[in-house]
């Protein structure tokens, strides 16, 4: 028997038992994290560099990329470390920090996706009021509210979860720290019920955002189908499809991971689903937006072309300078 006062570390779920599979998981996670870092970094640079993307959607896309970077950096590095060094431990403090940042960025992403849905609703259903309803001040306030709400939710859940006495060991059935698996170690009935109450409030908030997203897209599709020209309908749909795809992946993977029937639950399936909803969306979001958003594609193309041209110019100018300058051309001894 152990309790939270004497607990110094947790045991995470190993991604594989065989050493070859552990190294395979390490390289797989490394590839996914590098791809996510590169793709989200490119989007951040494109939005900051191209003035055509200095729009409400560009501003929210920048915040979404920051959130995706936070998500991928919260769970993946520790999983890579454990796979590479064949260990499963995480310190008590490290587990608390990982849980806080995971729920912070996860909540923030969901609220941002809700706000981006509102942006698409106003742009298509109320285009004449777009500048008024989504001015720079309003966008800043909505983004700040999303960050603050995510922070508050993560803080409340983390503080309450790690205030519970733990007496059921220290083995977590997950490859990262997550609230349901820590609650299984608790021996406090009242604290357990308090956390369930917090989860219930969070679920109501999440469900309210989901209803808003569904209602908004019903109105969006009705407005798009009333557009007389096929080109206009195609353009309107193309601005909504990236966001709809990101929301669908985010909601479906998270909902199925936590609401699947116990009869089909297994350690391997739980592990695969946890990877899908915690790692896959941050890696896929920039790909989806860059493939479907023409303005973003143009901005990325111009930025990369400009950087490549400047690099070639600097390379040739430095080469010419070294040829013209005999001191630089001579080898040093």
State which residues form the domain around 129: 9-294
| pLDDT on residue 1 | 44
Half-sphere exposure of 290 (CA within 13 A, CB side): 21
Residue 332 resides in a domain: no
Euclidean distance between CA atoms 127 and 195, whole angstroms: 43
Asked if the structure places residue 54 within a domain, the reply is: yes
Does 316 fall in a domain?
Answer: no
At residue 265, the pLDDT reads 67
pLDDT for 97? 93
Q: Is 145 inside any structural domain?
A: yes
Residue at 114 is within a domain? yes
pLDDT at 224: 85
Does residue 224 fall inside a structural domain?
yes
* Furthest CA-CA distance within the chain: 81
Q: What is the mean pLDDT of each run of 10 residues along the chain (333 residues)?
A: 64 82 88 88 83 83 90 89 87 92 92 90 88 89 94 92 81 84 80 80 88 90 84 76 79 73 69 79 78 68 71 67 48 43
Q: Distance of CA 11 to CAs 96, 127, 323, Å?
A: 13, 53, 61
> Model's pTM, two decimal places?
0.83
Whether 183 and 164 have beta carbons less than 8 Å apart is answered as yes
Name the strand (E) or helix (H) holding 177: none
How many whole angstroms separate alpha carbon 127 and alpha carbon 196?
Answer: 42
Tell me the three state secondary structure of residue 204: helix
Distance in angstroms (rounded) separating the CA atoms of residues 241 and 258: 26
Residue that the structure tokens 């996510």 belong to: 36
Structure-block tokens of residue 172: 């977590």
| Residue 154 is assigned to a structural domain of this protein | yes
- Residue 288: what pLDDT? 77
Q: Answer whether residue 270 is part of any domain.
A: yes
How many folded domains does the chain comprise?
1
CATH label of the domain that carries residue 76: 1.20.1070.10
């Amino acid at each position: 028997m152990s309790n939270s006062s004497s607990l110094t570390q947790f045991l995470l779920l190993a991604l594989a038992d065989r050493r070859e599979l552990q190294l395979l998981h390490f390289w797989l996670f490394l590839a996914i994290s590098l791809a996510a870092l590169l793709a989200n970094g490119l989007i951040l640079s494109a939005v900051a560099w191209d003035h055509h993307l200095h729009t409400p959607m560009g501003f929210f896309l920048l915040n979404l990329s920051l959130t995706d970077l936070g998500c991928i950096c919260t769970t993946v590095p520790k999983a890579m470390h454990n796979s590479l060094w064949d260990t499963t431990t995480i310190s008590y403090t490290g587990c608390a920090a990982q849980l806080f940042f995971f729920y912070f960025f996860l909540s923030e992403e969901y609220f941002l996706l809700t706000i981006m849905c509102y942006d698409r609703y106003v742009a298509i259903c109320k285009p004449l009021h777009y500048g008024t309803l989504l001015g720079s001040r309003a966008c800043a306030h909505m983004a700040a509210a999303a960050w603050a709400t995510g922070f508050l939710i993560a803080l409340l859940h983390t503080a309450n979860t790690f205030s519970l006495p733990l007496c059921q060991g220290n083995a977590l059935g997950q490859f990262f720290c997550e609230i349901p698996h820590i609650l299984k170690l608790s021996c406090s009935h009242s604290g357990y019920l308090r956390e369930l109450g917090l989860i219930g409030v969070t679920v109501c908030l999440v469900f309210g955002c989901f209803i808003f997203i569904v209602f908004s897209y019903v109105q969006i599709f009705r407005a798009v189908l009333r557009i007389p020209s096929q080109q206009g309908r195609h353009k309107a749909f193309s601005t909504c499809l990236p966001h709809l795809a990101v929301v669908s992946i985010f909601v479906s993977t998270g909902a199925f991971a936590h609401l699947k029937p116990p009869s089909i639950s297994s350690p391997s399936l739980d592990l695969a689903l946890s990877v899908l909803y915690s790692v896959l969306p941050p890696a896929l979001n920039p790909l989806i937006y860059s493939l479907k958003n023409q303005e973003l594609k143009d901005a990325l193309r111009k930025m990369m072309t400009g950087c490549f041209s400047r690099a070639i110019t600097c390379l040739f100018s430095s080469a010419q300078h070294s040829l013209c300058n005999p001191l630089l051309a001579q080898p040093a001894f």
